[in-house]
């Protein structure tokens, strides 16, 4: 589904607004342990239960084939406008029309798009449960997490399958998982997989035209998963319901056997303690209502919230030099960036004194800082997925915007040469060929885009600044680019569905994680050749290097069973013995001295410390639900772990491994940084 879910106005033009809408629809219940349905066996093709299978194209009136905008045939963002002429029951979006056709269903999605089908399917299978306002399919993972659901790469019957970007259509795809085979192959019910607004139930995770899904959203089982409000209309404030209502098991699933609780077990965890004072540092957390919550590391108490804008804050950065923080988010004026003083805590809204202002359309990505620390850059996506976007420079001294710089389609990342003279912007292409745009940071002018593979998702630069490497997930390649000539070399094959890329501190070796093949492929940067893939376990979710670059750590594992971290010796490119950790491991962060790695286990709400020297795990430390970010005080005394679904930050005494009392930090926290 290429267009956002909002029926009219500013929200319909923003990429990141779907997350914010999900935060205020009352979709989230109190985070609880999930027990997932047993996998169902593969079965025959499913039946189409969608209510509007023949909704006509608003541009042509045709009920079959592609719906092409006859006034803008080249803009494929307008090729999906099927509609109805009678307002469906409960639909509050009937005012949004094209040529007299109503565009949006009662959940806020365009008719015959994948998201509209899945929204109705979830309502049918789960007694009216609503996934309203989650936006483009590519935004559904984050919206689901904010609504209290669990996501990973292991399918269960009754899940929602999500492609963040897809071969067809662009901007993601959603499907309903109606069966899972004994070998873990998921079968899908979906609409619009081929841009024709039609139903299919023959695709699986093994033969889908967009490849295997990026994530599965687990909708849970009766009485054990959040049961969001059934109304598709947004509520004015977030709602934490203490008692989620039971919902029925999906009709295609057998009766589930409850899994053990994923909540931490207090009897086997260290007793809460008070970590020692840590040098008077301040931890900053953003929450959805437009506030930054400061936490005093000496007392581990939350201070007076700093109002910086909003609602719908989406994250936070600290500028080089550590004098100012920048919160970013969205509201009815567009995307905003609001600075606040780290020393005084004084903040300003985007339109008030000191506020930087608004960026229209799909901004909100973290600020990329050039090495000199005087300029930041923010990518701002275009209104349509096929249109060029811009990068806006920010003068960090005066906190003012510069003139937007036109780049390619759907910018997703940025790196700088070591001296900061050139910025390279990765343009994801929104389902098509990607490119890299060089920007002269002295003049803030763009050079000629450099073509790369399909759906590029990651970009890194060698420490000497001589070569860029661009990871393209759809083509399964890494493309080298010479920064001296700004030309691309021969793409290097690196495995199935590659997703992450890191480079050793000396720049000799590149490591590419491929979730589809469960491997890490080393690439020799001197010869630009790939070595033998290294097996790293099922469902690998990331790769990080130890500070010295001697070892790469790869977390992996299914959502319902304990995970592992696989260490890779970068001198020999061999995997060591797997290190057992908690359920569904994800984020890995190292202590400042590099001796210990902290692994956030999303499924078990714990953090596992790993001794880097011995490659052994310590006892699991209980933290908040859905731990997603970890920061350490610069002296290494205390770690802080953000629990996105429990609305808390948990301090951990690094020396003893004991968790302190959880610190409440407002509603739906997202960003976590540490200041001076």
Tens of pLDDT, residue by residue over 280-323, are: 788 999 887 778 889 998 899 998 888 776 566 667 877 776 67
Instruction: Please give the residue that has the higher pLDDT: either 276 or 520.
Output: 520
d(CA 243, CA 241): 6
**What is the domain extent for residue 47?**
1-253
d(CA 45, CA 593): 55
Q: Do 297 and 221 share a structural domain?
A: no
Last residue of a domain, which of 253, 283, 316?
A: 253
pLDDT of residue 660 exceeding 90 = yes
Last residue of a domain, which of 226, 253, 280?
A: 253
Which tens digits make up the pLDDT trace of 98-110? 788 887 888 888 8
Last residue of a domain, which of 191, 222, 253?
A: 253
Average pLDDT over residues 155-181: 79
Q: Do 249 and 276 share a structural domain?
A: no
Q: Do 241 and 320 share a structural domain?
A: no
pLDDT of residue 163 exceeding 90 = no
Domain harbouring 230, CATH code: 3.90.1720.10
Radius of gyration of the chain (CA): 24
pLDDT of residue 485 exceeding 90 = yes
Q: Do 625 and 515 share a structural domain?
A: yes
- Of the pLDDT bands very low, low, confident and very high (cuts 50, 70, 90), residue 95 is low
Look at residue 628 and give its three-state secondary structure.
strand
Q: Do 364 and 228 share a structural domain?
A: no
Q: Do 280 and 192 share a structural domain?
A: no
In total, how many domains does the chain have?
2
Q: What is the largest CA-CA distance in the chain?
A: 69
Q: Do 303 and 217 share a structural domain?
A: no
| 298: in domain | yes
Of 422, 412, 418, nearest in space to 452 by CA: 412
Q: Do 228 and 281 share a structural domain?
A: no
Which tens digits make up the pLDDT trace of 200-241? 988 888 888 877 888 889 886 533 333 333 333 333 233 333
Q: Can you say whether residue 12 is alpha, beta or left, with left for phi > 0 and alpha for psi between -120 and 50 degrees?
A: alpha
pLDDT of residue 673 exceeding 70 = yes
Q: Do 406 and 338 share a structural domain?
A: yes
Give the percent of the chain with pLDDT over 70: 72
| 259: in domain | no
Task: Give 406's DSSP letter.
Answer: E
Q: Please give the angle made by the CA atoms of 440, 446 and 448, to the nearest 5 degrees.
A: 115
Q: Do 420 and 562 share a structural domain?
A: yes
| 258: in domain | no
Q: Do 248 and 296 share a structural domain?
A: no
Of 222, 152, 171, nearest in space to 542 by CA: 152
| 260: in domain | no
| 460: in domain | yes
Q: Do 281 and 196 share a structural domain?
A: no
| 497: in domain | yes
| 448: in domain | yes
Cα–Cα distance list, 486 to 369, 453, 539 (Å): 21, 15, 35
Are 263 and 33 a contacting pair, CB within 8 Å?
yes
pLDDT of residue 128 exceeding 90 = no
Domain harbouring 446, CATH code: 2.130.10.10
| 261: in domain | no
d(CA 655, CA 276): 10
């Amino acid at each position: 589904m290429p267009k956002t879910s909002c029926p009219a106005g500013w929200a319909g033009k923003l990429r990141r607004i779907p997350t914010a809408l999900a935060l205020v629809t009352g979709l989230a219940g109190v985070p609880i342990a999930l027990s997932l349905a047993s996998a169902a066996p593969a079965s025959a093709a499913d039946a189409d239960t969608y209510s509007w299978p023949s909704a006509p194209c608003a541009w042509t009136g045709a009920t079959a084939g592609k719906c092409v905008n006859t006034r803008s045939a080249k803009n494929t963002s307008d090729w999906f406008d099927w509609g109805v002429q009678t307002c469906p029951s409960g639909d509050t979006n009937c005012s949004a029309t094209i040529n007299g056709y109503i565009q949006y269903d009662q959940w806020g999605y365009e008719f015959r798009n994948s998201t509209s089908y899945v929204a109705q399917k979830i309502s049918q299978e789960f007694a009216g449960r609503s996934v309203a306002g989650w936006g483009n399919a590519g935004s559904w993972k984050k919206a689901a997490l904010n609504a209290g659901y669990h996501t990973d790469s292991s399918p269960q019957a009754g899940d929602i399958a999500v492609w963040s970007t897809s071969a067809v259509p662009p901007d993601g795809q959603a499907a309903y998982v109606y069966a899972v085979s004994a070998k873990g192959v998921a079968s899908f019910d979906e609409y619009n997989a081929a841009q024709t607004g039609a139903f299919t139930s023959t695709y699986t995770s093994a033969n889908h035209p967009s490849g295997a899904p990026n994530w599965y959203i687990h909708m849970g089982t009766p009485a054990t998963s959040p049961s969001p409000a059934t109304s598709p209309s947004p509520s004015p404030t977030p709602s934490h319901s203490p008692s989620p209502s039971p919902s029925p098991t999906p009709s295609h699933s057998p009766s589930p056997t409850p899994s053990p609780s994923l909540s931490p077990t207090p009897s086997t965890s260290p007793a809460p303690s008070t970590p020692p004072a840590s040098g008077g540092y301040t931890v900053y957390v953003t929450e959805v209502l437009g506030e930054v919550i400061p936490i005093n590391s000496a007392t581990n108490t939350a201070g007076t919230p700093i109002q910086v804008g909003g609602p719908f804050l989406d994250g936070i950065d600290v500028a080089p030099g550590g004098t100012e923080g920048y919160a970013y988010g969205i509201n009815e004026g567009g995307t905003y960036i609001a600075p606040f003083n780290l020393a005084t805590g004084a903040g300003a809204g985007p339109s008030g004194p000191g506020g930087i202002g608004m960026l229209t359309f799909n901004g909100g990505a973290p600020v990329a800082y050039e090495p000199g620390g005087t300029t930041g850059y923010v990518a701002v996506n275009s209104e349509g997925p096929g249109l060029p976007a811009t990068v806006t420079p920010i003068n960090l001294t005066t906190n003012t915007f510069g003139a937007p710089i036109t780049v390619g389609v759907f910018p997703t990342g940025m790196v700088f040469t070591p001296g900061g003279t050139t910025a390279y912007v990765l343009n994801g292409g929104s389902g098509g060929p990607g490119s890299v745009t060089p920007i002269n940071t002295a003049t803030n002018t763009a050079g000629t885009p450099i073509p790369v593979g399909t759906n590029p998702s990651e970009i890194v630069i060698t420490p000497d600044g001589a070569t860029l490497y661009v990871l393209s997930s759809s083509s399964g390649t890494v493309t080298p680019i010479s920064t001296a000539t700004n030309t691309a070399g021969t793409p290097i094959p690196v495995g199935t569905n590659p997703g992450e890329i890191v480079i050793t501190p000396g720049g000799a070796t590149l490591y590419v994680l491929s979730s589809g093949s469960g491997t890490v492929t080393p690439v020799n940067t001197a010869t630009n050749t790939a070595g033998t893939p290294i097996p790293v376990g099922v469902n690998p979710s990331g790769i990080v290097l130890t500070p010295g670059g001697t070892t790469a750590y790869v977390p992996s594992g299914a959502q319902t069973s304990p995970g592992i971290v696989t260490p890779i010796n970068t001198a020999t490119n061999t995997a060591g013995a797997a290190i057992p950790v908690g359920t569904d491991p994800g984020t890995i962060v190292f202590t400042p001295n590099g001796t210990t790695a902290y692994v956030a286990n999303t499924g078990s709400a714990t953090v596992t410390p790993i001794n880097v020297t011995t490659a052994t795990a310590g006892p699991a430390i209980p933290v908040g639900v859905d731990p997603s970010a970890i920061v350490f005080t610069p002296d290494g005394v205390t770690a802080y772990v953000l629990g996105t679904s429990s609305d808390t930050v948990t301090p951990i005494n690094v020396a003893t491994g004991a968790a302190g009392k959880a610190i409440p930090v407002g509603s739906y926290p997202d960003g976590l940084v540490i200041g001076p």
